[in-house]
Amino acid sequence: MSTLKTAAQFFALRTLVRGYALMGDPYAGVMASPAHRDPYAMYEKVRAKGDMVRSRMGAYVTPSREICDSVLRDNRFVTATFDEASMVPITLVKDGEKIVNPVQDSFLMKNPPDHTRLRKLVQPFFTPRALKDRTASIQKIVTDHLDRLGDRFDVVSEFASQVPIQVIADLLGVPDENKDLFARWGSSLAETLDGVWSHQQLKDLHATIIEYNDFIDVLIDERRRNPQDDIVSHLVQEHHDLSREDLVATTGLLLFAGFETTVNLISNGVLKAFENPHTIAPLSQSPEYAEGFVEEVLRLDPPVQYTIRWPKERLELAGVSLPKGMPVMLMLAAANRDPRVFDNPLVFDPTRSNAREHLAFSAGIHYCIGAGLSRIEGTLALHELFKRFPNLAADGPVTRRKSKLIRGALRLPVRAGETERSLAVN
Ligand code: HEM
């Protein structure tokens, strides 16, 4: 496709979605409004319109926890790749061969039976037993990174992103010297989860995917020759029949799904602590309180704000007749504030007894495989950070990510010694 044609398509798509967003359309509002600083007010406007709100863009939007949960568990609904779902195709072909896209070719975007087959291959690395064995090494990663921090630092780049990338690199078997490269690809891929909105973004995505494909090919060869105790070695040694496409996509999925999400859990947690200073002492003193704290961050300010499902046949949902293929946007972040499930849903309460009913990790067959791992990472990171720096305070404005799907901070400058906490978000 010519550059001019794709650029024109992107321009048309952006203009259309922004136009609808300005008219108050809920689907366009979530995808494109500048409300990323605080999308929650907009979600409440959607809630006020009902449980199934029709978008003029040919979709439904639901903020209801019950409906989100039932759609996620209903096998009449499926996921779709960007190419199937978006108006601009983003598949990359090089020298006549398809280049594997770790987002859209992965099992996150597949349906049974392929989804079941591929998920099962990596499941053993995420069992409670496997996570228990990994906890001491995560604790060490957290402590080592805390040791490197000075009196003033950026929480996101110097701590929140360092811990998950080290954890995921160890899990996959990526050598330490490639960690930064890996982190850059993870961020770049995660940005495209929102959809691709410009020709430049498409070009950057393609460059990332090609680099990632080249890198992982080398790692796969190396682990074939010299297996270690990691996921890539396990896949190449135990599953000889696995295609290269499935191998590259599965490892890439773990990288991008496990990285940016957990970074944002940690930075959203720091922000919640600053906004609720009474939580800092118990957070730093009690690991049990820290677990509840993380659960409540996941509920009130989740790193993944929504997901989408498509009915594979005509069906009835909450009194609405949905034609085959009509997208339903499941507003996970709004569902987590559903007043029919959570008392005083806007209050941040780390001791809330049913916080775990949130949908931050989705539900059904695509329920986050890394939920347990990120709970451990988030709990240790936040507990140890405030234990080490009990007077941690904001040190300048917070910059938010532009993404609507992934919510978190891009920069969160802090100083270790201050006692007065003030917060400005731009
Ligand atoms: C706070 C951190 C995290 C959050 C909020 C999160 C959220 C999610 C959500 C919402 C989904 C499902 C999307 C959907 O239903 O369409 C998902 C799926 C997934 N997540 Fe996570 N995730 C986190 C951490 C991790 C980690 C640490 C890993 C792995 C190391 C991981 C790996 C995956 C994988 C492989 C899937 C696909 C599951 C499937 O399709 O069967 N995630 N995650």
Whether 256 and 109 have beta carbons less than 8 Å apart is answered as no
Would you list the DSSP string of 281-340? HHHHH-HHHHHHHHHHHHHHS-SB--EEEEESS-EEETTEEEPTT--EEE-HHHHTT-TT
Predicted pLDDT at 419:
46
Q: Name the one residue in this structure whose structure tokens are 């689907």.
A: 27
- Regarding predicted confidence, which is higher, 83 or 189? 189
For residue 134, the one-letter residue type is R
Q: What percent of the chain has pLDDT over 70?
A: 90
State the chain's mean pLDDT as an integer.
89
**Beta carbon of 304 within 6 Å of any ligand 1 atom:** yes
- Regarding predicted confidence, which is higher, 320 or 81? 320
**Chain segment 232-241, per-residue pLDDT in tens:** 999 999 988 8
80's tokens = 């779709």
Pairing of strands 59-62, 328-330: parallel
**Dihedral pair phi/psi, residue 335, rounded to 5°:** -60, -35
**Beta carbon of 361 within 6 Å of any ligand 1 atom:** yes
b/e per residue 413-424 (b: at least 16 CB within 10 A): bbbbebeeeeee
Q: Whose CA is nearest to atom 38 of ligand 1?
A: 366
**Chain segment 294-336, per-residue pLDDT in tens:** 999 999 999 999 999 999 999 999 999 999 999 999 999 999 9
Q: Whose CA is nearest to atom 40 of ligand 1?
A: 108
**Chain segment 348-402, per-residue pLDDT in tens:** 999 999 999 999 999 999 999 999 999 999 999 999 999 999 999 999 999 998 8
- Regarding predicted confidence, which is higher, 184 or 338? 338
Atom of ligand 1 nearest to the CA of 110: 40
**Beta carbon of 169 within 6 Å of any ligand 1 atom:** no
Predicted pLDDT at 311:
95
Atom of ligand 1 nearest to the CA of 108: 40
pLDDT for residue 91 is more than 60: yes
Q: Whose CA is nearest to atom 20 of ligand 1?
A: 368
Q: Helix (H, G, I), strand (E, B), or coil: what is residue 422?
A: coil
pLDDT for residue 10 is more than 80: no
Distance 370 CA to ligand 1 centre (A): 6
CATH architecture of the domain covering 41-415: Orthogonal Bundle (1.10)
pLDDT for residue 103 is more than 90: no
**Beta carbon of 413 within 6 Å of any ligand 1 atom:** no
Which of 368, 374, 407 is the best mutation target for the ligand 1 pocket, counting ligand atoms within 8 Å of the beta carbon and taking the most? 368
Would you list the DSSP string of 200-267? HHHHHHHHHHHHHHHHHHHHHHHHHHS--SSHHHHHHHH-TT--HHHHHHHHHHHHHHHHHHHHHHHH
pLDDT for residue 421 is more than 60: no
- Sign, CA dihedral 205-160-125-225, equals positive
- Sign, CA dihedral 284-289-291-296, equals negative
Q: Where are the domains of the chain?
A: 41-415
Distance 254 CA to ligand 1 centre (A): 8
